[in-house]
Structure 1
Amino acid sequence: MNFPTFLTLLRILVIPLLVVIYYLPLESKYWICALLFGAAALTDWLDGYLARRWNQMTPFGAFLDPVADKLMVAVALGVLIEAHSSWLMTFPALVIIGREIVISALREWMAEVGESASVAVSWIGKVKTTFQMVSIFLLLIGPPGELLSWLGLGLLYLAAILTLWSMYLYLQAARPHLLPKEEKQA
């Protein structure tokens, strides 16, 4: 267990805490949840940076980091879907969650066939993640309907568009390995 992996595990432990606090009858629950999510999002960047900088990259850390990210985003979006109770929130959230499932399965399969480099994280994936994290942070700051909530929702739609774009790029990169040879020639 090294420090970057500890930060990743900490990010996973924050998830249930965020959910519990979001449903407590506290006036400050929105800010607390936004700050917890923001801190967790920053550790997403920090753990990778430190692992590379200190040469502490491990197979367990490489496995756990994307799992922590996807759990954090999916759970936060799930809470927000329920809180907003609107298709306006549900649609982009489900696009993002659905894409994460598709790309995770694609990466797993590509690793099995020895082509994981074909679906490595790209710059568009990093931009998408940034928009996701900022939008979720803004959506958590206050109750639905406030100005920052609308701004967060707008950024979530941008994240959903980038999500679809990055998924298309990943699927295109994997396409030669997904189609049987007979279909490739047709």
Structure 2
Amino acid sequence: MTAEPVLEVIASGELGPVQRRQILALCSAAYDEDFSAYLEMLGPATHLLLHAGGELVSHGAWVERELRAGGFDTLRSAYVEAIATLPARQGRGHGSRVLSRMIPLLAGYDIAVLSPSVEGFYRRLGWEAWQGPLSFRSPEGVEVATPEERVMIHRLPRTPAALDLHASLSVDWRPLEVW
């Protein structure tokens, strides 16, 4: 009998060196690039670690970011990052399990947001593609359009009912990847 995968929720400040190395190795393998800089960019994040057979097989994290959507005041968002599964373990539902278990943990936020690598994967889990123009606010306070970016949202209990997917959506600048 195979043991059920185990999900661990842990703040980045509580990650030990072994866990950091495991996350880095998993994400680097899944994204086929050195993930060191991106892991550092996450800063204070909450991580979900999915272990199967004693091995870290899938990871996801979120950070808090402020978004401005259409005519709404700032929305407190859970910005989802680094959804990754070991390449040899992909296609077995591990990434879906991480995302599905993550959503209830985000209920205190106004909205969940991510920049998808594969939209279809997220769409089948309830994520919606943002249709309106995207931008970021530079450190100098200037709005800079990002027409090449794609963003998806997941509505949470606190998401405004009148949120329009065709409105503008803006986020504050950050290094490496704005969205």
The one of the two structures with greater contact order (alpha-carbon pairs below 8 A, sep at least 6) is 1
TM (norm. structure 1) is 0.25
Point out the structure with max Rg over C-alpha.
1
The structure in which a higher percent of residues are helix is: 1
The structure in which a higher percent of residues are strand is: 2
TM (norm. structure 2) is 0.25
